[in-house]
Amino acid sequence: MERSPSSPAFWRSPLRGPWFTSLLGVVLLAGITVLFVTGLLSYAAYNPDLSPVNDKTPDKGVLGFYLFPWPTDPPWLYRLTQGVHVTLGIALVPVLLAKLWSVVPRLFQLPPARSVAHALERLSLLLLVGGVLFEFVTGVLNIQLDYVFPGSFYPLHFYGAWVFFAAFAVHVVLRAPTAVRNLRRMRAGDEGAAPPVSAEEPSLVSPDPAEPTVSRRGAVWLVGGGSLLLLGTTVGRNFDGPARRTALLTPHGGAEPGSGPNGFQINKTAAARGISAAETSEEAWRLVVTGPSGTVRLSRAELARLPLHSAALPIACVEGWSTSDQWWRGVRLRDLAALVGHEPDTAPDVLVESLQRHGAFRRAALRANQVRDPRSLLALDVNGERLSPDHGHPARIIVPAAPGVLNTKWVARMTFGDLR
Ligand SMILES: Nc1nc2c(c(=O)[nH]1)N[C@H]1C(S)=C(S)[C@@H](COP(=O)(O)O)O[C@H]1N2
Ligand SMILES: [Mo]
């Protein structure tokens, strides 16, 4: 018997078959749809249409058609959407790998195409498999290895998502009916009798199966167990305290947060961002606020004499980690707008700039709805204590429901109005 990979007999696992592929396919259909939607939401949450400063994919063109002003309610919105995006993405890795394994004989199928339609379908599979690997690899590298594609991650992951999802939609339209039929048969217990998907497509069932090393049920448990294990060692990154320590798969560049009022996750430390104690001292640091009535300069002591307000808000990072609510205390953004000539209720967008001179996230634009929300603060304190240098002393932004990246630390300048 011929034993090259292009021959069906080369592939001998008795597990391969329509039932396994269909089961994994249906799980991925649901899971990847959630990943796509939460991913698009994450992009919208950055306010990319607000200012060139925020836009990580300047040539998004029509792909930005759906962008909308990200709301400030509920305050845990981004914590939820991005926690789901990252946690689910990681948990689906075993399902994805098993799915690709289950159809790998098709990769070697000869001749490569039997008709124009078949050639087009195989081309869409190339985009599908290439796209899904690309999205999972860039996503996992970004969260595990601390931005290996600085800056360019966003366009890569964003365009990759659209290319992949287009191929995915074609694939689902072509294959979902078969997958559902296979699963029905499987339930009815006669999946062995499943015919090949089409005359052009040889069956995934090996014509010469080896002895099974794991039962079907065992195989499903293996994949599901792998997913549960990843889920269990990832989900803790969405909580503080002991739960966070269960997040074994969360290597993170930031410093150990320690304990006490400032003892919650730190993304980039003051040292890592080149922020010195000298430039944040009471003598040196001034906040510069600009608006239609001119420019106001305030020391931290002067800020602390303005009306101070508190809000319980989380920090939720694009990397899929988040903190529980922290109690922030500081000056309302709407009150700062009022200092430079705006009405609090009609305050406009604001550009926030940090003392930080190099690296990402040193400036961000906030939308009017975020500025006007009475819970949006330029925080001076957290949990009853002065902000630590790593959490943004002398002052940082905190906005309900916004991605962490918009919560600029070590704020130096705020410009209300025309951001362009
Ligand atoms: N100036 C400045 N602000 C910044 C950052 C930064 O690198 N520089 N990181 C942002 C990101 S990506 C996140 S998730 C939050 C994290 O805040 P924390 O370190 O206080 O938890 O700060 C944001 N503010
Ligand atoms: Mo972040």
Q: What pLDDT, in 10s, does the model give residues 352-383?
A: 999 999 888 899 999 999 999 999 999 999 99
Q: Print the domain residue range for 410.
A: 287-416
- Is 410 close to ligand 1, i.e. is its CB under 6 Å away? yes
| CA 355 to ligand 1 centroid distance, Å | 13
pLDDT band with cut points at 50, 70 and 90 for residue 392 = very high
- Ligand 1, atom nearest to 317 Cα: 14
Q: Which of 205, 237, 269 is the last residue of a domain?
A: 237
Which residue owns the Cα nearest ligand 1 atom 23?
A: 405
Q: Is the dihedral of CA 272, 274, 277, 279 positive or negative?
A: negative
Q: Report d(CA 16, CA 206) in Å as an integer.
A: 7
Pocket test for ligand 1, best of 383, 405, 406, 414 (most atoms within 8 A of CB): 405
Burial string for 147-186 (b: 16+ CB within 10 Å, else e) reads beeeeebbbbbbebbeebbebbebbbeebeebbeebbebb
Q: Based on the fold, state whether residues 221 and 317 are members of the same structural domain.
A: no
- Ligand index nearest the alpha carbon of residue 392: 1
Contacts of 215 (CB under 8 A, 6+ apart): none
Per-residue pLDDT tens for 312-365? Answer: 999 999 988 999 999 999 999 999 999 999 999 999 999 999 999 988 889 999
**Residue 90 main-chain phi, psi, to 5 deg:** -65, -45
What single-letter DSSP state applies at residue 348? -
pLDDT given for residue 199 in this prediction: 46
- Is 142 close to ligand 1, i.e. is its CB under 6 Å away? no
Amino acid in position 157:
H
pLDDT given for residue 276 in this prediction: 95
pLDDT given for residue 192 in this prediction: 52
For residue 194, is pLDDT > 70? Answer: no
Residue 317 domain-assigned? yes
Q: Based on the fold, state whether residues 67 and 133 are members of the same structural domain.
A: yes
pLDDT given for residue 148 in this prediction: 59
Which pTM was predicted? 0.92
Q: Based on the fold, state whether residues 348 and 410 are members of the same structural domain.
A: yes
| CA 316 to ligand 2 centroid distance, Å | 7
- Is 265 close to ligand 1, i.e. is its CB under 6 Å away? yes
- Mark residue 403 as left, alpha or beta (left: phi above 0; alpha: psi -120 to 50; beta: remaining): beta
Contacts of 150 (CB under 8 A, 6+ apart): 360
Residue 225 domain-assigned? yes
- Is 409 close to ligand 1, i.e. is its CB under 6 Å away? yes
Residue 47 domain-assigned? yes
Contact 322, 315 (CB under 8 A): yes
User: How many domains does the structure of the chain reveal?
Assistant: 2
Q: Based on the fold, state whether residues 43 and 154 are members of the same structural domain.
A: yes
pLDDT given for residue 323 in this prediction: 92
**Residue 326 main-chain phi, psi, to 5 deg:** -115, 150
pLDDT band with cut points at 50, 70 and 90 for residue 170 = confident
- Is 342 close to ligand 1, i.e. is its CB under 6 Å away? no
Residue 258 domain-assigned? no
- Ligand 1, atom nearest to 254 Cα: 19
- Is 237 close to ligand 1, i.e. is its CB under 6 Å away? no
Region 132-146: mean pLDDT is 85
pLDDT given for residue 372 in this prediction: 98
- Ligand 1, atom nearest to 272 Cα: 7
**Residue 221 main-chain phi, psi, to 5 deg:** -65, -40
Q: Report d(CA 205, CA 14) in Å as an integer.
A: 7
Q: Based on the fold, state whether residues 16 and 90 are members of the same structural domain.
A: yes
Residue 142 domain-assigned? yes
